[in-house]
Amino acid sequence: MTMIDLGVLFAQALSGLTNASFLFLMASGLSLIFGVMRVLNFAHGSLYMVGAYVAYQCVVWLGPGETSFWVAVAASATVVAVLGGAIERFLFRLLYTREELYQLLFTYALVLFFTDFVKVIWGVKQHSVSRPPSLAGHSVVFGTTLPDYNLFIILLGPAIALVLWLVLQRTRAGRLIRAAALDREMLETLGVNVNLLYLGTFVVGSFLAGLAGALITPVAAIVPGMDAEIIIALFIIVVIGGLGSFWGTFLGSVIYGLVFSFGILLMPRFSLFAVGALMVAVLILRPTGLLGGRALK
């Protein structure tokens, strides 16, 4: 009996980790944008949603199959990155001298826009995309059967985390990002092109969101409303981990993924409440999050 219980727990944990990976992809973009630009991008869930829809559209055009899936993923991440860049460059940039309230509400305006926009183009029916053939099978991990695709995602999350971290630590761009998180005005006076930095940050953040959206298409429903359900999760994660903290976001994603997953298993009625309560608790006890501080570490 214990073996079965352990198996169930393990499967649930893996499911939670899969979610955590997806969430991390998105949350890292959100955290990055906040860390550098001090803006909480409500529209991050919308970018994710657009990524999912664009990936779907690409698969529709290219037909099912291995290459078309990966092309679709690359294409949609790129499209969303460009979209994010355009939004930053032509709209958002006009608001930097204004109060935070207006910047926040502008990102919400984007949410409102995109939530209907996808309906206009793709209707309200649910869509889906099949897994790429190479990852369509199952594997056995520690006695539990796991879809290959999920395994791929579980491994992808930390891999991307590592890449991002290396970029932050080792490249000039990364150093600028970390510096911007600490002191924007200083950067300006040092002659750094802050506009370009902001644009780049937004583009990278959007790319990650679009990538997450594209990658989630085989395992989640592509449906209007996917933006709303994800943004709350993202907020909870960045709060728990600490707004602007890189490893905090990673930790927050894992915690959220696992808590939600086990919450659903153990106390299905309260899983929603549980993660919300976690967010409240963190904000009350340690507002800067578990790994706190303003800088992207």
Question: Binding other proteins by CB under 8 A: which of 8, 65, 67, 112?
Answer: 112
Please tell me whether residue 102 binds other proteins under the rule CB under 8 A.
yes
Please tell me whether residue 229 binds other proteins under the rule CB under 8 A.
no
Please tell me whether residue 11 binds other proteins under the rule CB under 8 A.
no
- Listed in sequence order, the DSSP H helices in 91-242 are 100-122, 148-170, 172-182, 184-189, 194-216, 226-241
Torsion over CA: 91, 224, 54, 233 (sign) = positive
Please tell me whether residue 121 binds other proteins under the rule CB under 8 A.
no
For residue 24, the SS3 value is: helix
Q: Cα–Cα distance between 87 and 89 in angstroms, integer? A: 6
Question: Binding other proteins by CB under 8 A: which of 74, 82, 86, 95?
Answer: 95
Question: Binding other proteins by CB under 8 A: which of 20, 59, 110, 204?
Answer: 110
Token code pair at residue 251: 């930790």
- Closer residue to other proteins, CB minimum distance, 74 or 290: 290
Question: Binding other proteins by CB under 8 A: which of 106, 152, 246, 250?
Answer: 106
Across the strands, what pairs with 141?
144
Q: Cα–Cα distance between 223 and 250 in angstroms, integer? A: 26
Stretch that binds other proteins, among 19-27, 67-75, 99-107, 133-141 (CB under 8 A): 99-107
The closest of 177, 202, 209, 207 to 89, measured between CA atoms, is 202
- Closer residue to other proteins, CB minimum distance, 4 or 120: 120
Stretch that binds other proteins, among 49-57, 93-101, 163-171, 204-212 (CB under 8 A): 93-101
Question: Backbone phi, then psi, for 217, in 5-degree steps?
Answer: -55, -35
Q: Cα–Cα distance between 242 and 294 in angstroms, integer? A: 8
Stretch that binds other proteins, among 1-9, 53-61, 97-105, 167-175 (CB under 8 A): 97-105
Please tell me whether residue 266 binds other proteins under the rule CB under 8 A.
no
Token code pair at residue 123: 């209707």
User: Contact positions toward other proteins, by CB under 8 A?
Assistant: 38, 40, 91, 94-95, 98, 100-102, 104-106, 108-117, 119-120, 228, 232, 235-236, 239, 243, 269-270, 272-273, 276-277, 279-280, 283-284, 287
